[in-house]
Amino acid sequence: VECAKISHYAIEKHKVVITVSAVAGVTAELIEIIDLAKNQKPRLVKVRLNDLEAQHMTILKGILGSHSYVNQIWQKEILPRFDNLRTILHGASLVGDITPKTEAKICSFGEKIACIFMRYALRDLNVRAQIVKAEKIIRTDSRYLEANLYLRNSFSACKKVLKPLLGRGIIPIIPGFVAKDTHGDNTLLGRGGSDFTAAIVAMAVKAAKIEIWTDVNGIMSADPRIVPDAFSWQELDLGIMSEMAYSGVKIVHPRSIELAIQKDIPVYVFNTFNRVFRGTKVDNSKTSGVKGIVSTSGNVLFNLKNPNMLDEIGFIADVTDIVQKEQISIDVCATSETSFSFSIKDANGSEKLLKALSDTCEVTMLRNVAKVCIIGNDITHDPSLFSTIFKIFAEQNIQIYTLSVSASRNNITFMIDDNDCKQTVNALHGKLISQKGE
């Protein structure tokens, strides 16, 4: 209902295309149910599907209130979809096998139902809206769960289908995340892919802007749960937003809006639950100064020493080879002549990796490590910034395990103890970021 109101407000001023994401948590739940089916748990699958169904019924009632036709709509438009889902998942849970093709079909369900909800919520506001099947306009290859977009095909299909609707004053509602391959099967654009759908459509119809309505106050200078003084940026460039995202801020996946921003379509990130917040505008400009202190905890740091490393060729290659064999990705790393440190993002597989590495060199492993990233354009070229940063670490008496300065000039990363993280991030935020947000 809230989303429909937001759309309604926009519709009064502009021509609008709405892209809908699944109800919060639904895609994740579907993925968990798929896993239960793969593990041959038909009973649990049934229970979880019933819960999901009840959750959707509650939402429909919330939208339509006490209208007598709630049941009619449920029977006609929603229940058959749940029945279909139940049949597929029950069968799959008996054999314990689901192909990616079927997984894509199952996961597309969340967005498709959310579109129906949106249509009814808009109808209540007297908005003329029509659901446009994503299969009609978003085309991809057959990598079912993270498909590659066929850009030209999708653009021309978008134009062909959407323009006549917009011309007639009808608001198209499109399920995000969902697409179709050349065989006519459902594919998905990857987790968080609804933003990508919005960006594709925006480019095709040459939109003036994209609005992404999330549940947080746009892009902030730090995580407000850690830094009470954190604030939202009114404007931020895509490069910095991307660096923040890769460092651990999960708001908008940069890949999904990159193309649109390169085409000079600005993206605004709003908060559905705080309409007073005026949004963060993400565009192609280049900001200066430190824009974010981003931290993650629970990293694991490996310190490797090899006395023979001096002038030796190939030690690091040997190490990365071992890490690769464990299917783990190295996050931050630093080297000296006889030592090599690197971190991984969580403890999964760390014990096994430690064992594998011990055969090659002296190795110690440190758990509960925080990664603190200071992010801003060209900050690595500012010597006085380094002096300020180190002063802060000295004042706070924080031990630095390792540090890394990015070649892209926009990130200085410190690895410290998890217990020191909050204090450090607050101190850095207080001294390095000036209040220019809202």
Q: Which residues bind Mg ion (CB under 5 A)?
A: 21
Contact flag: residue 299 with ligand ASP (CB under 6 A): no
Nearer Cβ to ligand ASP (114/353): 114
Looking at the Cβ atoms of 21 and 271, the one nearer to Mg ion is: 21
In whole angstroms, how close is the CB of 147 to ligand ASP at the nearest point?
A: 13
Answer for the pair 181, 188: CB distance below 8 angstroms, yes or no. no
| HEC profile of 372-435 | EEEECCCHHHCHHHHHHHHHHHHHHCCCCCEEEECCCCCEEEEEEEHHHHHHHHHHHHHHHCCC
User: Is residue 29 at the binding interface for ligand ASP, with CB under 6 A as the rule?
Assistant: no
- The single residue among 136, 159, 191, 278 that binds ligand ASP, judged by CB under 6 A, is 191
Report in angstroms the alpha-carbon separations of 239 from 159, 189, 244, 287, 333.
Answer: 29, 22, 9, 9, 22
Given the structure tokens 């968080």, which residue do they identify?
A: 192
Q: Closest CB to ligand ASP among 155 and 177?
A: 177
Contact flag: residue 177 with ligand ASP (CB under 6 A): yes
The least distance separating Mg ion from the CB of residue 176, rounded to whole angstroms, comes to 8
* CB of 159 or CB of 253, closer to ligand ASP: 253
123-131, 193-201, 229-237, 305-313 -> range binding ligand ASP (CB under 6 A): 193-201
Strands 171-175 and 129-131: parallel
Q: What are phi and psi of 302, to 5 degrees?
A: -110, 130
Task: Give the tokens for residue 410.
Answer: 């926009």
Among 42, 91, 100, 192, binds ligand ASP (CB under 6 A): 192
Least distance (Å) from ligand ASP to the CB of residue 25? 8
Q: How far is the CB of 4 from Mg ion (least distance, A)?
A: 16
Other Cβ atoms less than 10 A from the Cβ of 320: the count is 14
- Kindly write out the interface string for residues 42-61 of this chain, putting x where it contacts ligand ASP by CB under 6 A and - elsewhere: --------------------
* Alpha carbon distances (Å) from 60 to 20, 54, 71, 141: 16, 10, 10, 34
Find the binding residues for ligand ASP in span 73-132 (CB under 6 A). 110
Q: Contact 287/377 with Cβ under 8 angstroms?
A: yes
Binding partner at 232 among ligand ASP, Mg ion, none, C-beta below 5 to 8 Å by kind: none
Contacting positions for ligand ASP (CB under 6 A): 21-22, 27, 110, 176-177, 191-195
